[in-house]
């Protein structure tokens, strides 16, 4: 049974897990006395299981393709097609009036973007629990997608980790793996990463529970943070700096893949101070804190005022660099209206987190490669006869890796401009279009309202604009290189 399940295409096996997860809001709805919500999710589970059983009988005996493009098409179907089914019970319960609103909210959840569609005050506790659980599982699936799909295909940042842009020197595939179907590789990585993901969530929940004394807040905030899903939990404001300090530790897992996964080779040791992604993260966060402090320091009073402001800048910078999107309780409210602060925080979200993590954005490894390459070019201009030594730095700053990073940056800018243009053509103002594009393409949804001054809410946008936002969130999660490799493999090679 398990072997048969492993060989099913991801477009069929993954929905079965999320369909069964709808039993969580169903049981909570019945427990909380909201029979309508519980019954709606329960019927959705029955409908989904019936469809999956029907598909399993129809596909019995079929031989599935092991082509590499099959995996990418499965991801697109997962992020754009499957949310249609998940949006049915949400549309029935939320009574949004338009199905596209529920669909956009589900796409925002499975991509861990957290774009605010419905006002938080209108969502019941059952719906909040359902969105957090869905985002938590989606965050875990992003981990698994990175190692089972993107790593073997040298996509998603893995193209920079091997010789001449190939990850083959680091990600070794044995003879038995070559005979495995893509779905089998996925479930192998899922079994390897699941204990790590669960233990991080459990430890964070326990720590937050000790500090806040609220089990619901502790569990939901821990699940949302590890998935970099900056969802606002209504009725809860956290437990001060100690709670935020724990969340910072969790956000570090979104800045470098080496913090939670074993190195590519068993002989290679990992050192915190030698991780290029963490080095770039420390530099960017330090610069952001200094810039924000310089904007606010004339308005600060007393030593405690300085300490609270610096802590607020530090937590918020960590949050947006990891594309989580949480704002510290100690972040000065006056800066939320400052366009200069918007620029700094938006730049952090655009840089994004680490490769093979739940963070979006350009990725810190590409920023590191471009920075090192620029430094090498300047040094070469200053001293043309210098001798370059060191194999590791030569690998990361090679011309080929720099070219790939530069091409990705240019494609990112082109896609950013195209999405902004599309939103303006649907009637959004230029400011709103830029803000929505930044929020969706970097998978940092809370930046649209938590920091920016968005004129219209997600419900007030037109249908065309909502479809563009759904595509933008998918582009941000899959990255442009993956779509390029899917549509034209020859150009990518």
Structure tokens at 29: 């709805």
pLDDT of amino acid 266: 45
pLDDT in tens, the chain (493 residues): 667 777 777 777 888 888 999 999 999 999 999 899 999 999 999 998 888 888 777 777 666 665 667 778 888 888 998 899 999 999 998 876 789 999 999 999 999 999 988 887 788 899 999 999 999 999 999 999 998 888 888 888 888 876 444 444 444 444 345 546 677 888 889 999 999 999 999 999 999 999 888 898 999 999 999 999 988 887 665 668 899 999 999 999 999 888 877 544 444 555 666 788 999 999 999 999 999 999 988 888 888 989 999 999 999 999 999 999 999 989 988 888 888 899 999 999 999 999 889 998 999 999 999 998 888 888 888 887 766 555 545 544 477 888 889 989 999 999 999 999 999 999 888 988 999 999 999 999 999 876 665 655 667 888 999 999 999 999 999 888 777 777 776 655 5
Q: What is the pLDDT of residue 66?
A: 59
**Quick check: 201 and 229 in contact, CB under 8 A?**
no
pLDDT at position 489, please?
A: 67
Q: Compute and round to an integer the Cα radius of gyration of the chain.
A: 23
Residue with tokens 């918007």: 342
Cα–Cα distance measured from residue 93 to residue 216, given in angstroms and rounded to the nearest whole number: 21
- Decide: 293 and 331 in contact? Cβ < 8 Å: no
Q: What is the pLDDT of residue 67?
A: 62
Other C-beta atoms within 10 Å of 215: how many?
11
Sign of the CA dihedral running 450, 454, 459, 464? negative
Q: What is the C-alpha separation between 132 and 68, in angstroms, rounded?
A: 31
Contact residues for 149 (Cβ-Cβ < 8 A; gap 6+): 71, 72, 75, 155, 182, 186
Give the Cα separation of 441 and 161 in Å (integer): 24
Q: What is the pLDDT of residue 183?
A: 76
């Amino acid at each position: 049974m398990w072997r048969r399940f492993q060989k099913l295409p991801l477009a069929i096996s993954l929905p079965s897990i999320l369909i069964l997860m709808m039993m969580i809001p169903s049981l909570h709805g019945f427990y909380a006395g909201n029979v309508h919500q519980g019954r709606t999710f329960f019927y959705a589970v029955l409908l989904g299981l019936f469809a999956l059983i029907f598909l399993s009988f129809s596909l019995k005996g079929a031989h599935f393709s092991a082509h590499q493009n099959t995996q990418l098409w499965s991801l697109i179907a997962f992020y754009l097609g499957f949310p249609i089914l998940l949006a049915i019970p949400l549309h029935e319960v939320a009574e949004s009036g338009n199905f596209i609103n529920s669909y956009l909210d589900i796409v925002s959840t499975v991509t861990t973007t957290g774009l605010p569609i419905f006002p938080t005050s209108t969502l019941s506790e059952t719906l909040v629990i359902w969105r957090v659980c869905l985002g938590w599982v989606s965050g875990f699936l992003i981990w698994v997608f990175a190692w089972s799909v993107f790593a073997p295909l040298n996509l998603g940042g893995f193209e920079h980790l091997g010789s001449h842009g190939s990850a083959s020197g680091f990600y070794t595939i044995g003879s038995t793996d070559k005979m495995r179907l893509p779905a089998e590789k996925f479930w192998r990585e899922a079994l390897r990463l699941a204990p790590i993901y669960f233990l991080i969530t459990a430890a964070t929940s326990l720590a937050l529970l000790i500090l806040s004394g609220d089990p619901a807040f502790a569990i939901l905030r821990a699940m949302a943070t590890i998935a970099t899903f900056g969802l606002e939990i209504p009725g809860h404001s956290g437990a001060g700096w100690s709670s935020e300090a724990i969340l910072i530790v969790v956000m570090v897992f979104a800045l470098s893949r080496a913090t939670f996964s074993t190195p590519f080779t068993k002989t290679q040791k990992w050192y915190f101070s030698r991780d290029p992604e963490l080095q770039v993260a420390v530099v960017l966060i330090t610069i952001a804190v200094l810039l924000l402090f310089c904007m606010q320091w004339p308005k600060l009073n007393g030593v405690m005022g300085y300490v609270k402001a610096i802590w607020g800048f530090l937590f918020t910078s960590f949050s947006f660099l990891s594309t989580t999107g949480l704002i510290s309780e100690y972040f000065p409210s006056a800066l939320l209206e400052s366009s200069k602060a918007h620029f700094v925080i938006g730049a952090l979200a655009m840089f994004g987190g680490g490769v093979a993590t739940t963070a979006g954005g350009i990725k810190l490894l590409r920023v590191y490669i471009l920075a090192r390459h620029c430094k090498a070019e300047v040094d070469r201009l200053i001293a043309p006869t210098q001798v370059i030594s060191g194999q590791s730095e030569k690998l990361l700053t090679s011309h080929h890796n720099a070219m790939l990073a530069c091409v990705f940056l240019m494609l990112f800018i082109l896609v950013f401009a195209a999405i902004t243009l599309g939103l303006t053509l649907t009637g959004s103002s230029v400011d709103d279009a830029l803000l929505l594009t930044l929020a969706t393409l970097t998978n940092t949804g809370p930046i649209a309202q938590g920091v920016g001054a968005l004129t219209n809410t997600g419900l007030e946008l037109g249908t065309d604009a909502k479809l563009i936002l759904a595509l933008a969130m998918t582009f941000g999660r899959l990255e442009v290189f993956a779509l390029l490799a899917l549509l034209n493999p020859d150009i990518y090679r």
